[in-house]
Amino acid sequence: MSRLPQNLFALSRLVTLNLQENQITGQIPKSLDSLPNLRHLNFSNNKLNGSVSKSLLTIFGMTSFSGNEALCLNSTKCSSYSTNSNPTSSPTPPENQPKRMNKRTLISLTTLISILMLVLFSWRYSCRKTKTDSTNSLAASEGGK
């Protein structure tokens, strides 16, 4: 697990920041709000905590922060996330936070369904061809009498 380096947010020309699925811990620094050129941000599926500013949620949406169980994405539920001087206590995770299907799962599921459909259509075509061939051979054998 790692923390976000503070000097990262001094990069004023930063346009894209994709840090999903890196087991990053800690809070999202307020200085992230002041990056003027940042257009794409993804902190999903880490171990971040604290609250996300309304401006970041408005610009990048909730999906950019999803999968961080201890991260507060709803201002009405953030009261339990007040900053605590005791570093051993952990914030209570938000309730009923929807879990999204990750990209690998979606690709795997799509591939599996495609393969099953291909097998089904191949089997069906094979059955029809066998039935047609047997009908033709029966007709040929009766015609030869």
For residue range 106-119, list pLDDT tens digits in order: 889 999 999 999 99
In terms of residue numbers, what domain contains 28? 6-72
Domain boundary among 72, 96, 117: 72
Residues 19 and 66 in one domain: yes
Distances, alpha carbon 42 to alpha carbons 17, 68, 112, 114, 127, in Å: 6, 11, 28, 30, 50
What total number of domains does the chain contain?
2
Q: What is this structure's pTM?
A: 0.51
pLDDT tens column, 53-112:
888 999 999 999 999 989 988 765 565 544 443 444 445 555 555 556 678 888 899 999
How many Cβ atoms are within 10 Å of 97's Cβ, its own excluded? 17
The CATH number of the domain where 50 resides is what? Answer: 3.80.10.10
Of 42, 35, 34, 29, give the one whose Cα is nearest residue 13. Answer: 35
